[in-house]
Amino acid sequence: MHRARAQAPLNKTTSKLRFNSKYFCLAIVVFLIEVIIALYVHDQIIRPYVGDFLVVLLLYCLVRGIFSIRVLPAALLVLLFSYLVEGLQYFNLLQHLGLQHSRLARTVLGISFSWADMAIYTAGFFSILAVESLLLKTSKHQRPSIAAPKANN
């Protein structure tokens, strides 16, 4: 006799996709700031350091805006991705791909490895954790109490 396999209910989903408009809007704002920096700022501090710091925030907000993932795993994922991109710069990825003259590729992926960039990515990671921790504490203090209000005597 043939047995039918049990199927998961249609209303249950195992997808990790979940749109969060607050994080997604933050990602758009940070992206626009990054574009302004890339197009109009040509200095030795804001573009290389603030830009790298902001890209960590941008990626984090994008991940949290699209996926249902907790703070620490999302922040770690972004940090490891940032380290990976920086590591690929160490191995001259753009030259190996023949993209060393592409302005877009040079802007997005970078052109040279720097320990300072690794430190900036790490600072971005810890800033994310600090801000999320503060937001969590603030939201806990603002939640209404379930208990009945005390009577004034």
- pTM exceeds 0.75 for this model: yes
- Domain residue ranges of the chain, discontinuous segments joined by +: 21-139
* The pLDDT value given to residue 8: 46
**How many other C-beta atoms lie within 10 A of the C-beta of residue 16?**
9
**SS3 of 148, please?**
coil
CA 151 – CA 153 distance, rounded (Å):
6
Which residue shows structure tokens 């920096």? Answer: 37
Confidence of residue 13 (pLDDT cuts 50, 70, 90): very low
Predicted local distance difference test score (pLDDT) of residue 109: 83
pLDDT tops 90 at residue 106: no
- What is the identity of the amino acid at 69? I
28: pLDDT confidence band, cut at 50, 70 and 90?
A: very high
pLDDT single digits (tens) 117-149: 999 999 999 999 999 999 998 888 775 555 545
Kindly report, residue by residue over 42-80, the tens digit of the pLDDT: 999 998 899 999 999 999 999 999 999 999 999 999 999
Average pLDDT over residues 19-41: 95
